[in-house]
Amino acid sequence: MWRFAGDDVALARARVEAALGAGITLLDTADIYGPDNGEPFGAAEELLGKVLREAPALRDRMILASKGGIRLGVPYDSSRAYLAQAIDASLARLGCERIELYQIHRPDLLAHPQEVARALDDARQAGKIVAVGVSNHTPAQAKALAAFLPVPLASHQPEFSPLATAPLFDGLLDQAMTERMSVLAWSPLGGGRIAAPQDERARAVAALLDAKAEEAGVDRAAAAYSWIMTHSAGIIPIAGTQNPSRIATLPDAYTPRWTRAQWYAVLEASLGEKLP
């Protein structure tokens, strides 16, 4: 819901209903979503809140995820006092009593993980959040936070796509599998670079995705999502399209089936070299 914006509540509701109708139940937002769209801090949460106030029955059909810990001009604040305030503000904007998955958006290098854990567990015990996750954290940062939490970390949210493959090699996916954490991949289409390749590397990846897409009778985006989902960590790509008709086609990602040779060919094209 990074680009979930505007003041058209009917269109916003159509997007949500298209997702739920397609079997997509995880809606991932954040308090910082707004300024990137030329809107105020909290605007995306506020818009979703308007949808839920208009159609409250939708709330029971979704798993609601949000994030906090970024402050404009600071830039990061995961202090106990600020997180308590941020969680309450998100709940108010959303018009909800709880958030199923609350994630620290980016690590605050000045906050001791014990303080962060205390703030999150305070909210969890108060029933304001259900599960805790991290976004844009290294495996070591996630491990440090987990050491002070009385419940396991539920999720990692890294950038991951056929053009952003660092989690395959930096230990993040290994940690997720070892600790049974879900992995939510942001920018799974490479921030538009897969749809509109601008360099030789991206064009090589796109060509292989197109071959798989043609074989499976789907489009390039579905092939890219399916490549991500093939990994044994059970990665969940966070689709960002705001077009209800495109949202309805997202389940096409379940159609392609990758052989190992095909999957590794995409990775090698992305890396620009053969694997040893």
In whole angstroms, give the CA distance from residue 202 to residue 220.
Answer: 13
Integer-rounded Cα Rg, in Å, for the chain is 19
The pLDDT value recorded for residue 237 is 98
CA distances from 175 to 7, 76, 105, 172, 204 (A): 40, 24, 18, 5, 30
Catalytic residue among 33, 82, 102, 225: 33
In whole angstroms, give the CA distance from residue 49 to residue 35.
Answer: 17
**CATH of the structural domain 1-157, one choice from 3.40.50.970, 2.160.10.10, 3.40.190.10, 3.20.20.100:** 3.20.20.100
Three-state secondary structure call for residue 178: helix
Domain extents for the chain? 1-157, 185-276
Using a 10 angstrom Cβ sphere, with 0-12 exposed, 13-18 middle and 19 or more buried, the burial of residue 275 is: exposed
Nearest of 221, 215, 216 to residue 188 by alpha carbon: 221
Q: Which amino acid is at 104?
A: I
The pLDDT value recorded for residue 186 is 98
- CA 171 to centroid of chain Cα atoms: 18
Given phi > 0 = left and psi -120 to 50 = alpha, else beta, which region is 95? left
Whole-structure pTM value: 0.97
Block means of pLDDT (10 residues each) for the chain, length 276 residues? 97 98 98 97 98 98 98 97 98 98 98 98 98 98 98 98 98 98 98 96 98 98 98 98 97 98 98 97
Active site (annotated) includes residue 225:
no
